[in-house]
Copies of this chain bind each other. A is one copy, B any other.
């Protein structure tokens, strides 16, 4: 593979850097030290990390990407720039403002560590997972192919789609599951009290795991598209009211149909 630099050594950036044997950089000295203890080649300055890089991966929150893109474009004008942030419209818009010769491809690996930060980094988290590849006005085939090869080299399944389609899908695939997970754990904690931690098995643990999303990321996801997320929450409300009505009128057939439709909808995610 090419010479790769990863900027931002959290759970995702650290995992990419470990898997791609990339040079890494993080603005936080303590994170750089911990990343070195994980065996990474870490530069002490952004300039050092980007030197000679052919592919630069910006693994930072969406809000930080526009400034990082501009900085990386200035330091490494010949490199292909990509990112791993959760929203792609802001990245596509920031790419529009880059110098015409700079190449930039939006990216979003659909993976997450079990623990936050560099300590939760694990190059295996991408295996079999989608990796959204989002062309921008500064993308060409070579640049897109370079990012796709990075995804493939980590075992991910690259999927090309435009920024609008990506961000619309994320409302349902990412932001809504977070909100539903929080709503569920709040209701269960209120309803079961101390019996929740005492009796929780793997089912409710999995169903509510997203409620443990670290603060900054959770906020970014919840506020990505407030109107769209509110409408998505309404859709879950309608489903839950339907099942509550069926339960109250003793309609076992409607309940069976609800459960069957859920199994069918979940089946493609079983792998």
Contact = CB atoms under 8 A, between A and B. Distances in A.
Interface string A204-243: 1111111111010011001100110110111111111101
Contacts of A97: none
Interface stretch (A16-24, A29-37, A249-257): A249-257
B206 A110 contact: no
A239 B207 contact: no
Given A181-B207, A203-B112, A215-B263, A252 B239 contact: no
Contacts of A256: 219
Contacts of A142: none
Contacts of A252: 219, 223
Contacts of A70: none
Total copies of this chain within the assembly = 2
Given A171-B191, A182-B259, A212-B267, 11 more contacts: A125-B202, A173-B196, A174-B203, A177-B188, A177-B203, A203-B209, A205-B269, A218-B259, A223-B252, A226-B250, A227-B247
21 contacts: A110-B200, A130-B200, A161-B195, A168-B192, A169-B195, A172-B188, A172-B191, A172-B195, A172-B196, A173-B188, A180-B180, A180-B183, A182-B259, A182-B261, A183-B236, A186-B265, A187-B235, A187-B239, A196-B268, A226-B247, A229-B244
